[in-house]
Amino acid sequence: MYKELLQELLKDKKIVAVVCNQWGDTGKGKLVDLLSDWADLIVRGTGGANAGHTISVGGQDFIFHLIPSGILHDQNGKINILGRGVAFDPRVVIEELEVLKIAGIEVKNLKISHQAPLILPYHLLIDRIADKNQKIGTTGRGIGPLYADFVSRHSLFVNDLFNPQVFKEKLTKFLNQKKSILDNLDREQAKEILLHPHLGAGKFFDPENIFDIDEIVKKYTTEYADQLRDFIINLEEYLNQAKKENKKILLEGAQGALLSIDYGTTKFQTSSDCTIAGLAKGCGLREREVDYIFGIAKAFYMTRVGNGPFPTELGAKESEEYCAAGHSKEEEKEKYASQVDDLLSKDELSQGIAFRLLGREYGATTGRPRRTGWLDLLALKYSMQFNGRHLTLTKVDVLTGIEKIKLCTGYKYTGPEIFYAGRKLKTGDEIDYFIPDSDILYHCQPLYQEFAAWSEDLTGIKSYPELPNAVKNLVEFIENYTQGIINVISVGPDREQTIIKI
Ligand code: GDP
Ligand code: IMO
Ligand code: MG
């Protein structure tokens, strides 16, 4: 049923995009896979292997970090492209191609922009060491150091993989420029990190200089280059031709607006612009070329993985610390899976664990527990300024059976007097706008409105009118509050568990 309505929704559209309005992990993978039926080309333009996008087909989960989520449609001739804005890690792409091959999918139509900046082992090393002090809780995939190098004009690009001499010269020069950082590193700590398979399993370690340049050159310009050579394209040229041929293009975002380097919660961000503007640019397009944007939000709860402010988090600071402490999915399941109902009637930290178990909220990249809390409408409205008014709600099935739903519609400021955006904030002030300044946001307490919940299973519902009234009330409230239009409601991980509302 969703297929016909989706066709109608996208009638006359040529370029559409999927982005997240929260802190990531909202189901971009599911939606992109579903829309790949409609699209001819699927392009990723931001982030790198920090992303973890899940596609669930007939109960089997595929998780992709770099390869676009349209890849399961490769066999139907769909073209999947890694754009120029992607932090390109050849090891990850090759590994993902291998996993697909084992699953019986021989990828033929993958394309890679020759201009994407290259993740190298030193980006992962610096990321992993730096995060021990900064406590952002990065994914350790080298993202921050790579984009920093890009902006300071110190990066290698995909094209360099195919010119060994140029690759070696650049690598030598850039590593030399990092000498003062590398010289100060603890050799033993560096060696231990370099033993990780993500960084060459020790092959790139040199006891004197930390990095063995020749080994890196060999691996990247022979082994990796040989496996990727046939996929390389000039992105802009390729897309110009596709547009001339009236091809339908789908852009796949990564992370979420609240993690964006431009608009996200300060200090606890990723390093690319995860909004539609950054995505379009990273795909070699302009934002105004995009005809329709699917702005996703989880409902009626939300999650964050890694540190940073999250006003509606169940269990607040205690939950942030608990989730950072390294509790595993297996440990939580074993301890609590049989007591979800009990947990829901206990303190907020326990309720947060219950939400995590109900929504299976564990990082697709790192396996870390995702912090959970109620849907924050101030944050959603803020993100929609950048991603537009068309909303997709996912995970709507998760809170079935809960006693009541709470939506955050205001904050109470509880911090010291401070000047913010031309106004003075003092303790006790009620505010109705989101504040991306993390130091201030940490002092914002949520104010809630409560709503009736439902007990009917939603996972088999195919059309909007069939949804319980309690769900429809919430949908309408969110539309009114945000001035948005909710066109898609997801009630399960599978393609079929999707409701289109036009
Ligand atoms: P992404 O990073 O935005 O692609 O999202 P992730 O893949 O990291 O996390 C979303 C998780 O929720 C995945 O495990 C999906 O299979 C699952 N999922 C997506 N949509 C729904 C939904 O509507 N209901 C439920 N229960 N799970 C969903
Ligand atoms: P997808 O695309 C959720 C978070 C990390 C950390 C911060 C910085 O699956 O939604 P980074 O490694 O990027 O330097 O980490 O950003 N983060 C994500 N959180 N989903 C993601 O991607 C994320 N990618 C990065 O947890 O807090
Ligand atoms: Mg994810």
Residue 115 identity: Q
What is the 8-class DSSP label of residue 202? T
Rounded to the nearest whole angstrom, what is the distance from the C-alpha of residue 46 to the centroid of ligand 3?
Answer: 13
Q: How confident is the model at residue 134 (pLDDT cuts 50, 70, 90)?
A: confident
pLDDT for the residue 326:
86
Cα 259 vs. chain centroid, distance in angstroms? 9
Classified by CATH at the fold level, domain 121-228 comes out as Adenylosuccinate Synthetase, subunit A; domain 2 (1.10.300)
Whether this model's pTM surpasses 0.75: yes
Block residue for tokens 């699209």:
39
Do 6 and 500 meet the contact criterion of CB atoms below 8 Å apart? yes
pLDDT for the residue 467:
98
Which atom in ligand 2 lies closest to the alpha carbon of residue 140?
A: 12
Would you say the CB of residue 124 lies under 6 angstroms from ligand 2?
Answer: no
Do 309 and 407 meet the contact criterion of CB atoms below 8 Å apart? no
Rounded to the nearest whole angstrom, what is the distance from the C-alpha of residue 206 to the centroid of ligand 3?
Answer: 34
As a CATH number, domain 301-500 is 3.90.170.10
Say how far apart CA 306 and CA 127 lie, in whole Å: 14
Do 121 and 197 meet the contact criterion of CB atoms below 8 Å apart? no
pLDDT tens for each residue of 359-402: 999 998 888 999 999 999 999 999 999 999 999 999 999 999 99
Say how far apart CA 188 and CA 129 lie, in whole Å: 12
Fold match flag (13-113+232-296 vs 301-500): no
Rounded to the nearest whole angstrom, what is the distance from the C-alpha of residue 51 to the centroid of ligand 2?
Answer: 6
Going by C-beta distance under 8 Å and a sequence separation of 6 or more, which residues neighbour residue 266? 436, 437, 438, 439
Please provide the size of the chain in residues.
Answer: 502
Tell me which of 126, 255, 275 to substitute to probe ligand 2's pocket, judged by most ligand atoms within 8 Å of the beta carbon: 255
Which atom in ligand 1 lies closest to the alpha carbon of residue 55?
A: 16
Which atom in ligand 2 lies closest to the alpha carbon of residue 52?
A: 9
Would you say the CB of residue 369 lies under 6 angstroms from ligand 2?
Answer: no
pLDDT tens for each residue of 173-227: 999 999 988 988 889 999 999 999 999 999 999 999 999 999 999 999 999 999 9
Average pLDDT (96-109) is 96
Would you say the CB of residue 256 lies under 6 angstroms from ligand 1?
Answer: no
Domain ranges across the chain: 13-113+232-296, 121-228, 301-500
Tell me which of 92, 125, 305, 438 to substitute to probe ligand 2's pocket, judged by most ligand atoms within 8 Å of the beta carbon: 305
Do 36 and 28 meet the contact criterion of CB atoms below 8 Å apart? no
**CATH class of this structure's domain 13-113+232-296:** alpha beta
Q: Whose CA is nearest to atom 20 of ligand 2?
A: 24
State the catalytic residues.
25, 53
Rounded to the nearest whole angstrom, what is the distance from the C-alpha of residue 14 to the centroid of ligand 3?
Answer: 26
Q: Whose CA is nearest to atom 15 of ligand 2?
A: 138
Going by C-beta distance under 8 Å and a sequence separation of 6 or more, which residues neighbour residue 207? 187, 191
Extract the tokens encoding 198.
């993500």
Question: Distances in Å between the alpha carbon of 480 and those of 244, 275, 377?
Answer: 39, 23, 11
Rounded to the nearest whole angstrom, what is the distance from the C-alpha of residue 154 to the centroid of ligand 1?
Answer: 36
pLDDT for the residue 494:
96
Map residue 198 onto helix, strand or coil. helix
Identify the burial level of 422 via C-beta atoms within 10 angstroms of its C-beta, where 0-12 means exposed, 13-18 middle and 19 or more buried: exposed
